[in-house]
Amino acid sequence: MEAYVAALCIELRSLAHPERVVAPVLPMTVDLTRGMLRPTIFLGGGTPSMLPEALMEQTLAAADAVVPLRDAEVTVECNPGTVLGRDYLRALREMGVTRVSLGVQSLHDPTLRVLGRIHTAAEAYASFNDARAVGFESINLDFIFGLPGQTVAQWEETLREIVTWGADHFALYSLILEERTPLYAQVTSGRVSVPDDDATGVMYELAIEHFAAAGYVQYEISNWARTDDPAAPVPAHACHHNLAYWLNADYLAAGAGAHGHLYPRRYVDVSGIDDYIARVRAGHPPVAEVIELTPRDLAAETMFMGLRLNAGVSFVHFRDRCGMDMDAVFGAELAALAEEGLIERDERGVRLTRRGRMLGNRVFERFV
């Protein structure tokens, strides 16, 4: 861990110097938020909560040189099985972390074991309470539906339970089977069964109903947040880091396997820990691949990422980001999707209909 964090901090410090970045960061206004997105730092993509306090402090100090912590939404992803109690969470908060995201995934202990998770439902609830007790005012909980052996009734029971926790934000994702994982092998061999698409669709609709009844605002296909103003374009507890992705903004990457987006390029760091450390120690950029993006790529990604948001893509945002009018680029596609009842439009922009949200991938592929 020490060697990896030392290399990570070197890369982070290099990002504070624009001449060493893959491409310049472009300023961008965001119509959706009536101003600029809040600066964000997100420690995720694994289990950063395994880092001891001293190493976490080193990492955040290096990040502070790129994005000042005092102005930022600072999120740390936490596996409930590795959170070291209230003292650790209190230390994170004192370091400048403003938001924690707990990967709960399920409240069914046998399912957690099938997923290879090392925590129990009780431990997840305890971690949530610990985070709240030390003063975190923005806590996200991740859950997966469509899990092995999961029934609609079990999922509805989970929904009834989790809305009582009082979390500020929920991210709910349908299970995706990744090749070369133990679960993929179990499902394809028939040893484990998963709900079919119809059952998974019912689970998603139940989530929409239960969270709306509990006062949460769905602002993206998979995300719900608490808000004091239901009419606001973005709920108070929306994740600004994820909003940056959905708005196709630019973002910097640091760390093994990290992906960055600085138009007209996308880049990814080497994924192997030893390779990453060796490259940084040798004074070489750890970037493994740089992908050149065309104006058409930018326009397509702005559409299919932005349409994930309930507010959709505004004409102003598309023009600001892409330098073109939406209808000039995608007029035919938009007309066909509207005819199929998958999108709707008004004077502000375009968004998915409820049917379109259920068939999102069918919409998104039209822009690729």
Read off the pLDDT of residues 103-159 as tens digits, 9 standing for 90 and up.
999 888 778 887 777 788 889 999 999 999 999 999 999 999 998 888 999 999 999
- Domain span at residue 63 reads 27-246
User: Do 240 and 321 fall within a single domain?
Assistant: no
| Residue 60: band (very low, low, confident or very high) from pLDDT cuts 50, 70, 90 | very high
* Structural domain ending residue among the three candidates 202, 219, 246: 246
**194-221 residue pLDDT tens:** 889 899 999 999 999 999 999 999 999 9
Give the model's pLDDT for residue 28.
42
**225-249 residue pLDDT tens:** 998 887 777 898 999 999 999 999 9
User: Do 177 and 63 fall within a single domain?
Assistant: yes
- CATH of residue 326: 1.10.10.920
Give the model's pLDDT for residue 22.
46
Mean pLDDT over all residues of the chain? 90
The least confident of 36-50, 211-225, 271-285 is 36-50
**Is the pLDDT at 30 greater than 70, yes or no?**
no
Give the model's pLDDT for residue 24.
39
User: Do 108 and 45 fall within a single domain?
Assistant: yes
The least confident of 31-35, 64-68, 117-121, 275-279 is 31-35
Query: In the beta sheet, which residues pair with residue 140?
Result: 101, 169
Q: What 3-state DSSP class applies to 291? A: strand
Residue 22 in domain: no
Q: What 3-state DSSP class applies to 208? A: helix
- CATH of residue 52: 3.30.750.200
**Is the pLDDT at 101 greater than 70, yes or no?**
yes
The least confident of 113-127, 270-284, 310-324 is 113-127
Query: In the beta sheet, which residues pair with residue 343?
Result: 352
User: Do 45 and 131 fall within a single domain?
Assistant: yes
How many domains does the structure of the chain reveal?
A: 2
Give the model's pLDDT for residue 18.
52
Residue 293 in domain: no
Give the model's pLDDT for residue 34.
45
Residue 274 in domain: no
**Is the pLDDT at 36 greater than 70, yes or no?**
no
Residue 12 in domain: no
User: Do 241 and 321 fall within a single domain?
Assistant: no
User: Do 209 and 317 fall within a single domain?
Assistant: no
* Structural domain ending residue among the three candidates 212, 230, 246: 246
pTM: 0.91
**64-89 residue pLDDT tens:** 999 999 989 999 999 887 766 899 99
pLDDT average, residue stretch 319-326: 94
| Beta carbons of 136 and 101 less than 8 angstroms apart | no
- The structure tokens listed for 58 are 């080193």
CA–CA separation, 127 and 129 (whole Å): 5
User: Do 194 and 58 fall within a single domain?
Assistant: yes
User: Do 224 and 345 fall within a single domain?
Assistant: no
User: Do 39 and 148 fall within a single domain?
Assistant: yes
| Residue 47: band (very low, low, confident or very high) from pLDDT cuts 50, 70, 90 | confident
- Within 13 Å, how many C-alpha atoms sit on residue 66's CB side? 27
Query: In the beta sheet, which residues pair with residue 224?
Result: 170, 218
CA–CA separation, 103 and 77 (whole Å): 7
Residue 279 in domain: no
The strand order across the sheet containing 139-145 reads: 40-43, 73-78, 99-105, 139-145, 169-174, 223-225, 217-220
| Residue 164: band (very low, low, confident or very high) from pLDDT cuts 50, 70, 90 | very high
- The structure tokens listed for 271 are 């994924």
